[in-house]
Amino acid sequence: MKSRSSAIVMVLYLLFLMIPIYWLVNMSLKTNAEITGTFSLFPNNLTFRNYQVILTDPSWYMGYVNSIIYVVMNTVISITVALPAAYAFSRYSFIGDKHLFFWLLSNRMAPPAVFALPFFQLYSSIGLFDTHIAVALAHCLFNVPLAVWILEGFMRGVPKEIDETAYIDGYSFPRFFVKIFMPLIASGIGVAAFFCFMFSWVELLLSRTLTSVNAKPIAATMTRTVSASGMDWGVLAAAGVLTILPGALVIWFVRNYIAKGFALGRV
């Protein structure tokens, strides 16, 4: 009896969580007339026109392409930079290492709006405005510290003696790092990459400020859908569904390590 009532609570809670997502999917499969005219739990006239619009109109699908380009760029840069930094923090002690490490995390806490203005002015003046690399670099501001923190936690779990054994065996540092060390923290790299990907993917303010046409991300496209004929609700909903998909796909690969990632690698 008890287990049944707790199951009911659980199901209700899951339904509650799923309602907005369901409603989004529901809307994306309806016509605009149905969305605005009636209340229906299921699409009465099932249509894929909304998806068709997005996948055929460059002003829509280029938004995804742009987003993916700078998100991937950012993830690659963040992980490449964070790997050696995290290794240094986990293996060596140097003057001010603890303060520096904490300062890195505090970067994560600054609101992006603070940095939007300096980035905009800086990138405009050096000709990086409206490029993918501009957004990728701007996102490094909060993704590199995060990646360093996550990777450091995973690296700390690898005993220092493994490094030394490898040197004694004759491994040079780069070879040890790539052949022995990186496989040992592969899950950490995966989690860090996932977090970089997600935070870069969902970030709106900086990416919208630093782009206009050529590198305009999907999130910005979605906020500019009011046309002369009014709001195109269906297309907007379809865009939302497609925006959730990459995250849902990536999360599948790191599902076993995600909790450790949220704990910044510390168990």
Partner 1 sequence: MVLELQSVSRMVEGRVHIHPTSLTLQNGTMNVLLGPTLSGKTSLMRLMAGLDAPTTGRILWHGEDVTGRRVQDRGVAMVYQQFINYPGLSVYENIASPLRILGRPKDEVDRKVRETAEMLHLTPMLARKPLELSGGQQQRCALARALVKGAGLVLLDEPLANLDYKLREELRVEIPRIFEASGAIFVYATTEPEEALLLGGNTATLWEGRVTQFGPTPRVYRQPVDATTARVFSDPPMNFTSALKQGARLAFGQDVTAPAEGNFAVADGAYMAGFRANHLSLHRPATSALDLRCKVIVTEITGAQSFVHVSHGEDRWIALVEGVQVLEPGQEVSLWLEPRHIYLFDAEGRLAAPASYAEAA
Q: Answer whether 224's CB lies under 8 Å from 71's CB.
A: no
Nearest distance in Å: CB 167, partner 1: 5
Q: How many residues bind partner 1 (CB under 8 A)?
A: 16
Name the residue nearer to partner 1 (CB basis): 94 or 252.
94
Contact between 241 and partner 1 (CB under 8 A)? no
Of the two residues 127 and 174, which places its CB atom closer to partner 1 in the complex? Answer: 174
Pick the closer one to partner 1 by CB: 125 or 161.
161
Smallest distance, partner 1 to C-beta of residue 170, A: 4
- Which residues 6+ apart lie within 8 Å of 215 measured at CB? 66, 69, 70, 130, 131, 132, 134, 135
The residue from 3, 56, 125, 172 that contacts partner 1 (CB under 8 A) is: 172
The structure tokens 């690659």 sit at: 76
Nearest approach in angstroms of CB 89 to partner 1 is 19
Site for partner 1 in 111-170 (CB under 8 A): 159, 161-162, 164-170
Residue 103 or 167 having the CB closest to partner 1: 167
Measured from the CB atom, is 114 or 168 closer to partner 1? Answer: 168
Q: Stretches 110-118, 127-135, 144-152, 172-180: which one binds partner 1 (CB under 8 A)?
A: 172-180
Among 72, 116, 128, 184, binds partner 1 (CB under 8 A): 184
Given the complex with partner 1, which of 133 and 158 has the nearer CB atom?
158
The CB-of-165 to partner 1 minimum distance in angstroms stands at: 5
* Strand duo 226-227 + 230-231: pairing: antiparallel
What's the min distance (Å) between Cβ of 98 and partner 1? 16
180 binding partner 1? (CB under 8 A): yes
Nearer Cβ to partner 1 (248/267): 267
DSSP bridge pairs for 230: 227
Q: CB of 154: closest distance to partner 1 in angstroms?
A: 13
The one segment of 10-18, 22-30, 180-188, 242-250 that binds partner 1 by CB under 8 A: 180-188
Enter the tokens of residue 217.
């991300």
Half-sphere exposure of residue 125: CA atoms within 13 angstroms, side-chain side: 6
Backbone angles phi, psi at 230, to 5 degrees: 95, -170
What are the CA-CA distances from residue 38 to residues 30, 48, 92, 147, 232 (Å)? Answer: 11, 19, 65, 47, 16
Q: Give the residues lining the site for partner 1 (CB under 8 A).
A: 159, 161-162, 164-172, 175, 180, 183-184
